[in-house]
Chain A
Amino acid sequence: MKVPRLFVDACFCFSKHNIRIPTLASTANFSQRRGIYTLDPVDHQEPAFGKILIANRGEIACRIIKTAKRMGIKTVAVYSVADSQSLHVKMADESVFIGPSPASESYLIKEKILDAIARTGAEAVHPGYGFLSENAAFVEQLESDNISFIGPSASSITGMGDKLESKRLAAAAGVSTIPGFDGVVKDAEHCVQISRSIGYPVMIKASAGGGGKGMRIARNDDDARDGFKLSTQEALSSFGDSRMLVEKFIDNPRHIEIQVLGDKHGNVIYLNERECSIQRRNQKVIEEAPSVFLDEATRKAMGEQAVSLCKKLGYYSAGTVEFLVDQNRNFYFLEMNTRLQVEHPITECITGVDLVQQMLRVAKGHKLNISQNDIKINGWAMESRVYAEDPYKSFGLPSIGRLYRYIEPTHLAGVRCDSGIEEGSEISVYYDPMICKLVCYGKDRKESIERSIKALDYYVIRGVIHNIPLLRDILTEQKFNKGDISTNYLPQVYPDGFKGKQLDVKDKQKLLAMACSLFATNDLRNRQFLNVPQVKIDKKPAEEWKLYVELNEEKYKLDVTQSNGEFKINVNDEEYVIRKEDIDLAKPLLEVKVNDETDVIQLLSKDASGYYQIIYQGTTYKLFILTQRSAEYLHLMPEKIKFDVSKQIRSPMPGLVKSVNCNVGDEVVEGQELCVIEAMKMQNSMVATSSGKVRCVNIHPGDTVGDDDILIELA
């Protein structure tokens, strides 16, 4: 009996494997159901904004809308072309179209946001993070238009926006800053003098710098002299500004930040720390709260300094003071982010405070309704940033695609998913490729790690390449589990880049056993016709399979037998028993009992030629499964000639061709830049992989290219 969709409970629908998939209504209620916000329940008697506009998109827009809804505040979403069907637009009460897909033509244009505010009559604007969140001019404009900005004042933003200025302000507020020379270095000798007085190692960096350019580490006088010269030259050519700074260089630092919250009445509290040391290319990957490294005294000292900086600034709303912490627990002010941070949910989990609610209250002019004494550390929270990116390419190069299947593991205990996407959403080249912030909390660090691992295993993401393999591997890695981490963690643990999970012998055998069960199930199913008369020829379905399996270039011969509703698989003389009812070819995720342990696998793809892709322990394994007879015959087949890839320059990811720096017939040398591909605001220089003549150029500046497209071919 087919039930028309219209009559199904509007709140939940059941996925194909009976996992509850929250729909819009239920995600909005999520936090209430889980009871994360224990410390500041909504007071519906308190005056609140009637309607706010969220000048952002994606997960943060959804996150803000959820709290606004709880508080009974109407919400307005803004959206670009690419976001017209996005979740944040569906969740909001109203939505305003603000232009083309690129952020520079929509979300970043103040006038469009102001226009949307005027059209909808929103009383306040929440900027989220990124985009206009730290744009003082935007805030000033709002202030003059009498629209509340749900964030700090324009002057706070300005004060903390400039590196030198913020450091001065911090020092003045008694915050420990990185020892350094607070002025412009005159020449190389001056640089050596300063370096000596600070004490080596030091960092010489361009005042106008950024992105690692014009930066040198010096460990002695000679380094300092050379470093000054080189950095000056670089700074001049890159930024047209040769002013140099010198400061103490902190080896293997940890990145620990303090969450602060202030109101317009001079009250400021700190909500403990977050450790964000696991980073790649200065982007955070895994964050946790609290930090395993801080003792109570350090935590208190850092928190109090952060509060004192805020008081000095007259800071209100949520903010984050970032510190570098060295191996001896000396901490140094790095910068202050005058906005809600991406990783704020872990703080919410351990403190029970809804930061967005507090921001909304503060912006409305209310006093904080919690005091420093209320802030405790309840358990441990871990945030894994699930990105649409390929972790095997320098720890993550963006990928794009449509999520044709998407199930968040929110049915598990202690799991919170902050995402702005749903099944069917498209991850495009225009914005940050984040899929979700997977936040897992438990009574201690161990439990929150265990829950994170389990949640990653139960996460179903189809249609884009994602970084779950890397996230899961970090979470199971020894050093990480010991809490021995720093901002250099990834290059230290994976010096040759991430190569995927290395299964131990037993897990590998279990994977093989499960793969063989899938093959056998498929083989049995292939003959299960429901409306075809049974042939009288006495041919029973196979009772046993002699299989040949290739996994990671390793070859196996395995025997599978079936009896009593079980598959028995013999792998290198080890017997594995799998119940047939656990194996299903249509479910996106399988819980398979192998002998006595339950494993979770996902069948990503299968085809009749024998290619299976199975996700196990976070990593996708490509298996090639044949009957032994087919395999015998296959070995008679010639190897296909592989094209010499060194003569082809292929696009490492989807993106936009920024420039093409060669023409057909040019002689190029290995390493020479041939073109630049831009994706997600990252510029990738594509260099010649070997020396030779350019045979053909398939691209023009402005073209969009797909992953693995051949851009340029060399002769």
Chain B
Amino acid sequence: MSVHLTSKNFLWHLKSHVRSVVRKRVGEVRYSNGTEAHTLKIAERIKQKKSEALLGGGQKRIDAQHKRGKLTARERILLFCDHDSFVEYDMFMEHTCTDFGMEKQKFPGDSVVTGNGLVNGRPVYVFSQDFTVFGGSLSSVHAKKICKIMDQAVLVGAPVVGLNDSGGARIQEGVASLAGYADIFQRNVLASGVIPQISLIMGPCAGGAVYSPAITDFTFMVEDTSYLFITGPDVVKSVTNEDVSQQELGGAKTHTTISGVAHKSFANDVEAILQLRNFMGFLPQSNQYPAPIRESSEPSHLDVPMLDTVIPPSATSPYDMLDIIYGIVDERDFFEIMPKYAKNIITGFGRINGRTVGIVGNQPKVAAGCLDINASVKAARFVRFCDAFNIPLVTLVDVPGFLPGVTQEHNGIIRHGAKLLYAYAEATVPKLTVITRKGYGGAYDVMSSKHLRGDINYCWPTAEVAVMGAKGAVTILYKGKDDIEKREAEYIDKFGTPFPAAQRGFIDDIIEPRTTRWRLSRDLDLLATKKLQNPPKKHGNIPL
């Protein structure tokens, strides 16, 4: 245990220093005994405080935490950081509350452990809320500790990872606790787009506390033991008379499938933290760094024959866009973001020749891969993250259009669809697009088209770029005419091909599917030096 070791070392140095001082001064200064004893006493007290801090809320509460199937705040950090790399800050901070008898209950470090460590050799700032101390509740000191590492993370340019496990505000501190939340929110917002911020919810996170994870770039959850909600089941019951359990209201399943609040969930603390370490490997340290390139032995200059057969012979049969993604990325290693939410679009990180890329792909297997409200919002946020952190975007297009329907219109598909359009249009990172099959209507424009400053736009031979499908087009063009079938065939022949777009230069090339990986790899190398800036402005006005 790193902290332990450090404190031991520290004590050893201190003692030997004191001893040498004592030896030197023997006979010289007779009355120095008092300060020597004092130094030793202080050293003992430091040792004492540290070991208290290491125990958090005490062994009993640690056992209770384990019984709940959760690791303690410190165990989580040890697992998350490289061996022996975590350095703790503010172990001696204590809460300042004097009401409700709180002055008698103090724990060094209070209810959060903060500091920095390394993840696979790269620095990261981390805070881990300690449920064993006052239920991990947020005191003003707790907030200050978090704010301190966030400030430093922004200064240094390193990600902040929050391991959340907190019952909420420290009620005894009243408004001071609220102020603490707001201080964190403010920093979350300022750090947004500067350094990656990741929240892993590993226990309760309720009330105002939820807005910090909500602002961070990614929110992951642990199944069964974590939940996120504004108001708990009791309040829900009293206000709306709805009966709902904590898990149903705000568990991992709810947030990864229904609400889209969380980006992914994991089976338990250990898996979540191991996966989080893996995930960090895809991210740059800050917006000042390019997308990381990790060593890769998978050749990126070879054909991938498998890609030739993914698109089924019948234009209406579905296929799995993930098959294409796996064929393009290194080692079939794809970290999917929001795999269970708005499944008609796929978002996630992979590597091509070692370099991180953000991949967005329509999923023909689900709802024909159409764009609806949820899919647009999901992809838009992902695109903006990639753009903020210099991660090139690879967009795989097979989109029949936006989803029609009263519900969609009434819920604002126009506003939400515009988010994706906005995100792609403003993005200045390398943008590579491959149209695998359909690119219809406005959705074609939205999906990283040439017109939205796409750098490289490819079509597979199966691509059809058109205003709409043949049937729809022909019914409009030849309303009331009889030989509809013949005209449909005519339309398909003319527009059901990549040619109209290729002839106009809207796509750069029609490529054999098997060549896709090495072409993308080559383009990414070329575009590594891409320089593009949007006009100076305070900030754009994305249609929220």
Contact = CB atoms under 8 A, between A and B. Distances in A.
A539 B515 CA distance: 41
Interface in A577-614: 584-587, 605, 608-610
A505 B326 CA distance: 36
Nearest to A404: B306
Contacts of B121: 527, 529, 535, 539, 541
Contacts of B331: 585-586
A539 B297 CA distance: 24
Given A424-B309, A537-B123, A530 B82 contact: no
Interface stretch (B243-251, B270-278, B427-435): B270-278
Contact of B298 (A16, A425, A541): A16
A53 B144 CA distance: 81
B271 to A, nearest CB: 5
A526 B294 contact: yes
A318 to B, nearest CB: 33
Nearest to B528: A531
A422 interface: yes
A680 B309 CA distance: 22
A529 B269 contact: no
Contacts of B292: 529, 531-532
A14 to B, nearest CB: 8
B305 A526 contact: no
Contacts of A609: 266-267, 271, 274-275
A555 B307 CA distance: 40
A85 interface: yes
A532 B79 contact: no
B90 interface: no
A84 interface: yes
Nearest to A611: B271
B301 interface: yes
Contacts of A535: 118, 121-123
Contact of B306 (A84, A403, A636): A403
B83 interface: yes
Interface residues on B, range: 35 or more
Contacts of A424: 305-310
B515 A637 contact: no
Contact of A525 (B274, B293, B294, B521): B294
A526 B323 contact: no
B460 to A, nearest CB: 13
Interface string A531-567: 1100101010110000000000000000000000000
B232 interface: no
A526 B281 contact: yes
A479 to B, nearest CB: 39
Interface in B274-323: 274-275, 277-278, 281, 284-285, 289-290, 292-299, 301-303, 305-310, 313-314, 323
A382 B299 CA distance: 35
B330 interface: yes
A539 B85 contact: yes
B302 A542 contact: no
Given A525-B295, A608-B277, A85 B308 contact: yes
Contacts of A605: 332
B85 to A, nearest CB: 6
A186 interface: no
Interface string B105-134: 000000000000010111100000000000
Contact of B122 (A2, A425, A529, A587): A529
B79 A630 contact: yes
B306 A405 contact: yes
A158 to B, nearest CB: 38
A123 interface: no
A532 B285 contact: yes
Which of A405, A531, A630 has the largest count of B CB atoms less than 10 A from its CB? A531
Given A81-B314, A404-B327, A637-B268, A532 B122 contact: yes
A403 B299 CA distance: 19
A528 B268 contact: no
A608 B278 contact: yes
Interface residues of A, number: 47
A404 B290 CA distance: 31
B515 to A, nearest CB: 6
Contact of B71 (A526, A626, A633): A633
B518 A402 contact: no
A491 B413 CA distance: 61
A160 B121 CA distance: 74
A5 interface: yes
A403 B268 CA distance: 33
A634 interface: yes
Nearest to B291: A531
B297 A584 contact: yes
Contacts of B505: none
Given A585-B331, A608-B274, A637 B294 contact: no
B522 interface: yes
B326 A526 contact: no
Which of A530, A584, A587 has the largest count of B CB atoms less than 10 A from its CB? A530
Contact of A423 (B66, B301, B305, B512): B305
B525 to A, nearest CB: 8
Nearest to A532: B292
Contacts of A495: none
A361 to B, nearest CB: 35
B77 to A, nearest CB: 12
A636 B309 contact: no
Contacts of B66: 636
Contacts of A119: none
A447 interface: no
B250 to A, nearest CB: 20
A539 B82 contact: yes
Interface in B202-261: 224
A327 to B, nearest CB: 49
Which of A16, A425, A636 has the largest count of B CB atoms less than 10 A from its CB? A636
Contact of B302 (A16, A422, A584, A637): A16
Given A2-B522, A404-B306, A637 B269 contact: yes
Contacts of B417: none
B404 interface: no
Given A5-B518, A425-B309, A426-B309, A629 B79 contact: yes
B342 to A, nearest CB: 22
B78 interface: yes
A211 interface: no
A637 B68 CA distance: 8
A408 to B, nearest CB: 13
| Nearest 5 Cβ contacts at the A-B interface | A608-B278, A528-B295, A586-B298, A424-B309, A527-B121
18 contacts: A2-B301, A2-B518, A3-B301, A16-B302, A402-B309, A404-B306, A404-B332, A424-B306, A425-B309, A526-B120, A526-B278, A527-B120, A527-B121, A530-B293, A585-B331, A608-B275, A609-B274, A638-B69
Given A527-B120, A542-B83, 14 more contacts: A5-B512, A85-B313, A402-B306, A424-B308, A529-B292, A532-B292, A539-B121, A585-B331, A608-B274, A629-B79, A633-B269, A634-B268, A638-B268, A640-B267
